[in-house]
Structure 1
Amino acid sequence: MLDPTQLDTLAAGFTVLARFHQEPPDEDTLATFRQMLDEWPLPGTEGATQGLQVLRSSEAVAEDAAAVRADHAGLYGTLAVARVAPYESVHRGQERLVFDAHTLQVRDAYRTLSLQAPKLNREPDDHIGLELEFVAQSCLRALDALDQGSEADAERYVRLGADFYRDHLGQWAPEMLGRVVDEAHTAFMAGLAHLTAGALESYAQATGVQTEDA
């Protein structure tokens, strides 16, 4: 069972990463994030070390929010064809299409926490940002359960998150994030991908989960 400190740091890190993969930061958010890099809650992995270094280089070369927004859109296909699709189904499905069986499996998993994709049936449920958010929410629910004195419920929430990582995130996100590093036009997006890979490694270490072949 994870202790409250572990749950809090995992929730904090995954919440930030989930947000930035879904929507790039504006100028104020970017400045605040850069000021807090030294306080990143999930250090200690190779991905975190690389990510923080690359993100600091983004500030050093004065990348602004407009540059990050353009790169985010180009990478994830907000305005055109994606350089790296942000959806699990594209990476794992035989037909490489969205809204396939993997999307529906992810939708079912979200229901275990009474969650659903914000644009249900209009955009795929299995976006990298939404999957990261599920992990964050599982940690937050476990924290709430511990606050209410229910260790059994807390363990159940942790297991839901770990199972989701094993069956979904861990099966496709590391490779996808590596492609983002290769395809990114900004240090910010490359650094974000490294940092996310490090967070996934931290989560796997903390929960003891191991992925099987996809």
Structure 2
Amino acid sequence: MIAPLSSDTLAAAEVCFAVASWLLYVEPDISSVAEQVASRQFASAPFGEESDDARQGLRFLDGWCAAALRASEVPEGASTDSAAAFLGESPAFAEAVAELRREWLRLFVGLGTPEASCLESYYVEPNRHVFGKNVIAVREVYRRHGLEVERLHREPDDHLGLMLGFLSRLIAEEREALDAGEGQRAAALAGEGDAFLTEHVLPWLAPWRYAVERHARTGYYRGVGAFVFGLIACYAERFGICFDGEARAFRRRK
């Protein structure tokens, strides 16, 4: 049984999944991180805060942002735009973002093997084979919704950041169907989200999260690991799926 969500709740989940997608998939740069810090983007989230993990992740992320503001000596009372501009000119902030960039590369890209790979294939394919059957299966799901990876055949489609972006798209389509009074289509899209999570994300999400927890050195990426895990776990509950801490696996309630 899939729990229906209101249009407002779906819109909130859509935004959070899009942000989570960006945090994993896009290399951090000064302008984007400055905007996060200046706006205190991670002080709260519109969806997912029911999860202890998501709240912990937000605390780590917001703590890093607050420390970056202090270290860069941003004037008190500065507007968001002024603070972002100030951060963009701060050598201390530039070094803080450079540290994030090095960590993002080490955790998720790697010169050899990433310390916390974001690829489904790494966890489920024999010999960690990239561009295997899982990539093909994920690609076909994307194509049914008119999506294609920009660097097709050069980058695996089963990157967690891409999959979170796809889930954000599915949630948006469900919301649009719901708002248009197309209840059956909205339910079908929710069912697709259930199937995609169950088959391609949840089986390896816990090992990925523990890898981030073990190897991340900054509060920013410790926060990313906890927030992404908690956000997905919170959304999975609408499908009757909960995380079993003892088994370190997701289980569907009977």
Percent of residue pairs bearing the same amino acid type? 27
CA contact under 8 A between 1:2 and 1:207: conserved in structure 2?
A: no
Structure 2 residue 131 is matched with structure 1 residue 99: yes
* Matched residues, number: 213
Corresponding residue number in structure 1 for 2:8:
5
Corresponding residue number in structure 2 for 1:114:
146
Corresponding residue number in structure 1 for 2:61:
55
- Cα deviation, residue 130, structure 1: 0.6
Structure 2 residue 31 is matched with structure 1 residue 28: yes
Computing the radius of gyration over CA atoms, which structure comes out larger, 1 or 2? 2
- Cα deviation, residue 209, structure 1: 4.0
Residue-by-residue CA offset, 1:34-91 (whole Å, 9 max, x unaligned): 4122231221211112101211332344373221111101111255531222110111
Structure 2 residue 44 is matched with structure 1 residue 39: yes
CA contact under 8 A between 1:171 and 1:212: conserved in structure 2?
A: no
Q: Quick check: 23-32 or 199-208, which moved more? A: 23-32
Q: In the alignment, residue 54 of structure 1 is paired with which amino acid?
A: F
Q: In the alignment, residue 76 of structure 1 is paired with which amino acid?
A: F
Q: Distance in 1 between matches of 2:225 and 2:139?
A: 24
Matched residue of 2:126: which SS? Answer: coil
Matched residue of 2:116: which SS? Answer: coil
1:1-214 alignment, distance < 5 Å: 1-34=4-37, 35-41=40-46, 42-62=48-68, 64-77=96-109, 79-209=111-241
- Structure 1 residues 54 and 21: CA distance shift in structure 2, 3 A: same
Matched residue of 1:95: which SS? Answer: helix
- Structure 2 unpaired stretches of 5+: 69-92, 243-249
Q: Distance in 1 between matches of 2:193 and 2:36?
A: 26
Q: In the alignment, residue 149 of structure 1 is paired with which amino acid?
A: G
- Cα deviation, residue 212, structure 1: 6.1
CA contact under 8 A between 2:241 and 2:251: conserved in structure 1?
A: no
Q: Distance in 1 between matches of 2:134 and 2:228?
A: 21
- Structure 1 unpaired stretches of 5+: none
